[in-house]
Each structure stands twice: as structure tokens, then as C-alpha cells.
Amino acid sequence: MASVLHFNVFDAPEKPVVGDRPRPFGPPMAWDPMTSTLIYGESDAVLVDPLTTVAEAEALAAWVELHHRNLTTIYITHGHLDHFAGLSVLLRHFPGARAIATPKTVDLARRQPVPFYRKLLPGQLPAVITLPEPYEDEAFALEGHELRIIAQGHTDAPDSTSLHVPALDLVVGGDVLYNQCHQYVAQTTPEIRENWMTALDRLSAFSPKTAVAGHKKPGVADTPQAIGWTKKYLVDFDRLQKETSGERELFDAMGELYPTWAAHQAWLMFGLS
């Protein structure tokens, strides 16, 4: 008989980034606040996205240890370095865990510009960046329950995925989903944003009770309303990109629409268009 599942969410706060601003406006650069999700049963557990820096990953590992479960699997939702750089730290603490991701996620992870990230976060990343192993199946198990991998295509990253846990009415959105945190829309096109909205509809179709965003404002609830908020943000960005006359005006207009959302400066790290 399958055991009862539970979950817990670890919030990592926004962190300063070193370097010159690519644009002469906006607040000092910083990296978005992030989440990592632990799904656990009677004896075993699965961790989703082991964060970025050594300090974050060490804190996350200590938090996982407090649950007194055997960590069997670490799942990576997509290939952006901020979601898997901490993997080597977690594997040192939990050497029996298997780190997995889709083959396309592993391919993107392999192509990440690690020296660039080391300049942004000097002395903070692990000395060795460990990659997950490619996982071909569409689901994996935790104590008799299925955790389903949802292929989402290009959202804020190419070949994004989310997890659906039917036993918990839970979706772990990865970076398909943001929660009261400015979204990484730099380098997206109208077509990419259209696919992103379709990916959000896919999450909504599960009618989840809980939806965990890859990036969220610290302390806010993991509400499924965030799916609609993320979609509305994309709609607003599309509209304002047409209505405004430049990057500064677009940046300011989105800030006025979403004045309490976290990490407005994230766009500035790579540009707005």
C-alpha cells in the first residue's frame, strides 16, 4: 500500500550580484528569490531544484536532514544554472540520492556559462558544478506514488519542465511559474511568451490545491492563483512592450503595475529585449 505523502517548501531569499549594471537605471542588481521543494513519505523523499550557492545548498541540506527521510531523488526542472549549481553540495550530504533531469535539461545545463555566473557571484558557487543524469521516462515514483514530469517547452528557459504530484494535488512549476516576483522575460519573443501561457494553462488544468513557483516573493503562500498572476504578467508585458517607446519606459511601466513584486532588477542583468 502506498504511504501518505507530504511536502515542504524552502525559500531562499534574493541575493546581491556583483558587476556593472547593463542599463543605467533600476535598483542594484540582485538574483531572484528561489524555492526548493521536498516531497516525502514515511521513509523516503524527493527534492526539486537544489538552488545555486554553497551557502544556500548547505542551508537546504540541513533543512532536508531535519525531515529524517532517506533522500532518494533530486529532480532538476530546467537547465538554468541557478536551479542546479548547488547539486554537488546536496550529493555530498546525501550520497545515495540520484540526481535526474530530462535529456534536454541536461543538455542545456551542460551549456551554461559557468565563468559568467562565477563573476556575478564570486566565491559563492561550488568548486565543481555537477550535472544531473539524463532521465528518459515521463514519471518516477516515491513510496508507491507517481511524480509526473510535464514537458513545457520554452518558457523562461528552453525545454522547461514542471512536476505534477496527483496524490497531493500539487504542481511544482519550476520557472514556468512565478509568484509575486518579476518574471525573466528578457530574451523572450511573442511566440515564446505564447508557449509560456500555454504551459501555464497546462498547470491550471490539473486544478492543483498547491502550486510552487520556482521564483517567488519570500513568505507568500504557494497558491494556485499564482498561475493566473504569471499569465497576466505576460499579457501585460506584451501589451506594454507595444505601447511604450523604450526599455526605460517599459521597465517603469511594469514596475508601476507590479510595485510590490520582488526582483524588478532581474531584467537588467541580461537586458530587456
Output the CA–CA distances (angstroms, integers) from residue 146 to 3, 211, 271, in the order listed.
Answer: 12, 17, 39
**Could you read off the pLDDT of 191-227 as tens digits, one per residue?**
999 999 999 999 999 999 999 999 999 999 999 999 9
Query: What does the pLDDT average to over 7-26?
Result: 83
- pLDDT at 23 exceeding the cut of 90: no
pLDDT given for residue 13 in this prediction: 95
Q: What are the sequence ranges of the domains in the chain?
A: 6-269
Tell me the pLDDT band of 272, cut-offs 50, 70 and 90. very low
Tell me the pLDDT band of 264, cut-offs 50, 70 and 90. confident
Q: What are the residues facing 161 on neighbouring strands?
A: 151
**Could you read off the pLDDT of 95-105 as tens digits, one per residue?**
999 999 999 99
pLDDT given for residue 268 in this prediction: 54
**What percent of the chain has pLDDT above 70?**
95
pLDDT given for residue 9 in this prediction: 98
* Residue that wins the pLDDT comparison between 81 and 264: 81
**Could you read off the pLDDT of 134-164 as tens digits, one per residue?**
999 999 999 999 999 999 999 999 999 999 9
In terms of C-beta distances under 8 Å and separation of at least 24 residues, what long-range contacts does 148-156 make, across chains too? 149/75, 149/102, 150/202, 150/203, 151/102, 152/176, 152/199, 152/202, 153/195, 153/198, 153/199, 154/192, 154/195, 154/196, 155/192, 155/195, 155/196, 155/199, 156/80, 156/183, 156/184, 156/185, 156/188, 156/196
Question: What is the overall mean pLDDT for the chain?
Answer: 93
**Could you read off the pLDDT of 56-76 as tens digits, one per residue?**
999 999 999 999 999 999 999
CATH topology of domain 6-269: Metallo-beta-lactamase; Chain A (3.60.15)
pLDDT given for residue 21 in this prediction: 61
